Every structure is written in C-alpha cells, then in structure tokens.
Amino acid sequence: MSTVNPTPSTSSASASTAATASAASPRTMHATAHPHPDRWRGLTFGGALKSEFIKAKSLTSTWVLCIINVVILAGAAAFMAFAMTFALDGAQVESETFWTSVAAGVSNCIIVAAIYGVMSISSEFSTGSILTSLTAVPRRGLFYASKAVATFVIMFVCSLAGLVLATGITLALLARNGFDHNVFTGPRPLVSILGGALILAVVAVLSQGMGALIRATVGAIIAVIGLFEILPSIVQLLMIYPKTSAFGGTLMHLLPSWCSDQFLAAGGTNVATSMNDLFLANVTVFTPSWGWAGVILLAWAAVFTALGVWRMLRSDIK
C-alpha cells in the first residue's frame, strides 16, 4: 500500500498561509487593542464641543447653578446699591462706588463657579457616564479640552448676564443721586463686567481641573473651598506675626482669591485687599498690579488644568 505525499506546491501553499496568518495575527491583535487612527478621523473639536454643550444643557445642575449665579450677582448689586443710597446722602455717585456695587456679588459667586466646574467632570466619574463619553470621544485630550471650553463659555455667559443685570439695577437705584463724569470712563467698566465674568469662568475651569484630578465631587469641592477660603485665613495668621509677616504677605498676594479681588479692582480700592493689607503696615511685600494679578489667576487655572489632563491621560478610568 503506497503513501501519497503532498505535492511541493500544496506544501508551499500551506506554509505560506500559515506564515501569513502568524504574521497578521499580531497586527490584528494590536488593531483590536488600539483602534486604528483612521477610525478617529471623523472626530473634530467642533463635534466634541457640540456634544459637551448638549450634555450640559440636559443637566438640571447646570441650569440650577447658572440661575443661582445670576441671582446672587443681581441680588448683591441691588443690596449694595440700596445701602449706598443712604450712605451717599444725596451726593453724586463716583466711579469707585458705582462699580463696587455692580461687582459686589463676584466674590460670593466664586464658590458657585467652583461647584459647577467640579461637577462638570466629577459627575462623569460618579455616574459612570465617563465610559460612554470616552467611547464617543476616545481621544482623552480632545475630550477634556472640549469640556473645558464648554465649561468656560457657559459660566462666562451666565456671569455676564448676571453682571449686565447688576449694572442695570445699580443704575436704577442710584440714578436720583446723579453720576460723576468719570463713572463710565477708564478700564473699570469693562473690568467690572467682562472681567468679573472672566474671573468666574476661569475659576470654573480651575475647579474642573481639581475635579479631574480628585475624581470625587465632595472631595474636589472641599479642596477648592480650601484653596479659596481656608488657605487665605491660614496665611493671615502668618501676616499677624512680625517675623513671618513679609512672607505671609507675599504668599497672600499670590493666592487666587486675592488675585481675583485685585484684578476686579482695576487699580482702585478693594475692600478685601485693603483689609488684608492692614496687617502689612511698614512691611515690604510683593504686590502685583491688577493686570499681573489676572495673569497669576490664569496661571493657577493653567496648573490645575494641566494636572487634570495629566490624570486623564495617565490613569485608568474606573
């Protein structure tokens, strides 16, 4: 009984097929583990940004926090302007008085902006929707950038609306006193309205970075409150003692809370910064101008945004 051996052509074809399969297998496995960039070519920043706006619009927390923001800005201005009608006793309204009344609620709304910024990203982790979001936008850097821009725009627009309303209320309440000729000149009008909205939008982006870094809503909100409220109180203790007053004063002038107040004053007098400087009599410390104070606040936001992006890119999504 004879044994039929495979022909050379059949053997070579089988070997070629096996070699091709073994060579293609690693590429197939790699493509499965890491989707080919061609699948992402349809993703654009505009598309990702649009999805973030739609997502934010569908959340009740977005509307609630924006309404609270507008109400506080308008309410604080109304309260301050009403009090000024008695303090002025018929005197003309000067620029400092008018714009201090308009922007009276900005410092109070910093916490509202911080909560919105934290929840814009931390809620994705707490609800597990981050997995869906990253499935739709696999590029984590693109996802974070679009969310940061959406957070900035939403907080800026609602804050601008609140400050425009605050300006109208202040005008109405102080109109019978009359206004000094320089009320609507100089940088103060633009800084109080546009700058106030910019401060709250930057704080929201800063807080979003904190939320991405900590990934827990309560923990991130506590951290932001500690940065803006608790840390300045601790630094004030350093300013009281003569040996540490210079260091404490310089440190205070670098904190985001002080920088936001200094920027909002636009070179004028701010109650918060003036109260802090009472501890610095006869002490030389670093004091940035209102423009540089705005730059320092932007630097704080950039640092926490970078930390948030780093955590998004380097850590697993759980």
The ranges assigned to domains in the chain are 45-314
pLDDT of residue 27: 41
pLDDT of residue 254: 93
Per-residue pLDDT of the chain in tens (318 residues, 90 and over written 9) = 444 444 444 444 444 444 444 444 444 433 333 444 444 556 788 989 999 999 999 999 999 999 999 999 999 999 999 988 888 777 888 888 899 999 999 999 999 999 999 999 998 888 888 888 888 888 999 999 999 999 999 999 999 999 999 999 999 998 888 888 788 888 889 999 999 999 999 999 999 999 999 999 999 999 999 999 999 999 988 888 878 888 888 899 999 999 999 999 887 766 555 555 666 666 777 888 999 999 999 999 999 999 999 999 888 776
The phi, psi pair for 93, rounded to 5°, reads: -85, 120
The answer to whether residues 114 and 225 touch, using CB atoms and an 8 Å cutoff, is: yes
- Report yes or no on whether pTM surpasses 0.75: yes
Long-range contacts of 51-54, Cβ-Cβ distance < 8 Å, separation of 24 or more: 51/136, 51/137, 51/146, 52/146, 52/147, 52/149, 52/150, 53/150, 53/153, 53/154
Q: What is the rounded CA–CA span in Å between residue 148 and residue 142?
A: 10
pLDDT of residue 269: 66
Taking residue 234's Cβ as centre, other Cβ atoms within 10 Å add up to 11
pLDDT of residue 3: 46
